[in-house]
Amino acid sequence: MVKYSATLDSTFGALADPTRRAILASLTLGGASMSDLAGPHLMSLPAVMKHVRVLEKAGLVSQKKVGRTRFCQLAPAPLKQAEDWIAQYRRFWEGAFDSLERFLSQDPLPERQKEKQKENQSWPHRNRSRKTRSR
């Protein structure tokens, strides 16, 4: 049974938006002010602040205020949890693809067996005589 958590749900919810992913990418280089984060995006500072609040609520970003400036910093713990969750599925799919590769790399059937299979798979009307077909 797969276990879901509110933390994981909010992490993936926050990561669903490209602007928020871009903000996180910027924060991988180090802490930044709200103004610095808003710079590359064609949106107002309040709009960027909304995105940062979603990231903060998901635990992906922390904020601190120094004077009149708000600084943000990446909080990687929820990303680690998401990575662990994805790794479970990666192992599953890699195993499935390995099995498929083993199956596909097996020697094909000898020619004689192939011919027999073709005969067995032919349609019934191909084996009937002309008298049977004219009824």
- Could you give the domains of the chain? 6-78 (1.10.10.10)
3-class secondary structure per residue, the chain: CCCCCHHHHHHHHHHCCHHHHHHHHHHCCCCEEHHHHHCCCCCCHHHHHHHHHHHHHCCCEEEEEECCEEEEEECCHHHHHHHHHHHHHHHHHHHHHHHHHHHHCCCCCCHHHHHHHHHHHCCHHHHCCHHHHCC
Q: What was the pLDDT predicted at 60?
A: 95
Q: What is the mean pLDDT of residues 119-135?
A: 59
Residue 1 has pLDDT above 50, yes or no: no
Q: pTM of the predicted model, to two decimals?
A: 0.64
Q: How confident is the model at residue 131 (pLDDT cuts 50, 70, 90)?
A: low
